[in-house]
Structure 1
Amino acid sequence: MDRESKQRADILFQQYPILKQAYGLSQQLRRIYDKTTVKEIAYTKLARWYNDVQNTGLKQFSTVISTMQINYKTILNYFDNRSTNASAESFNVKIKAFRAQFRGVRGIDFFLYRLTKLYA
């Protein structure tokens, strides 16, 4: 962060301490994902982060907290080999766009044939 940005952040955080708290929590979560490589350690760090968020009482993190509660096993799988399902999601979007382009599919075999020719 350059000097001017730091000054602006300091002024903003002085005026709105809740923003400083929220920023700190978001940076803490980012560091967990960036630096942690062992699943068990990530589980512990995420649990501590979760407790920190609950202790602050910030309702703005409620969506993140509920997502983590529901999907914590899947989230922890990221730390096994640091991969996500982003490529699969991207491919699904391409399939939906292709299907929408033709206003529906009548022949499944032909659709699959065209799909394999375009994206294989």
Structure 2
Amino acid sequence: MRFRKGDTVEVSIKEEGFHDSYYVATVLSSLEDDQYLVEFKTLLDDDDETKPCTDIVHGVNVRPLPPDITVSSFSLNEKVDVYDNDGWWVGMVGGLEGVDVLCVF
């Protein structure tokens, strides 16, 4: 799938401490070799924390935003994406108690 300038996407970061997480970003430009220059919505620049982080990422690490759905229930051991620490993390439902759901990353 090809993305265009202005598209809102999710980007998987393949660095220590970020595995299995996705961050919302805007495509600033499409580059050669299936790469994109993106600007993250929630991650800040290491050198200037008043500016959003930008990065060049490979297309295999970029996915479209998921559909907006409402989930009414979860099952034990179900694979889920959970929003935590400014990004979406892949996890599993590890416990259910009333309306509370325990997710394990």
Q: Which has the larger radius of gyration?
A: 1
TM-score, length-scaled by structure 2:
0.22
Structure with the higher fraction of residues in strand conformation: 2
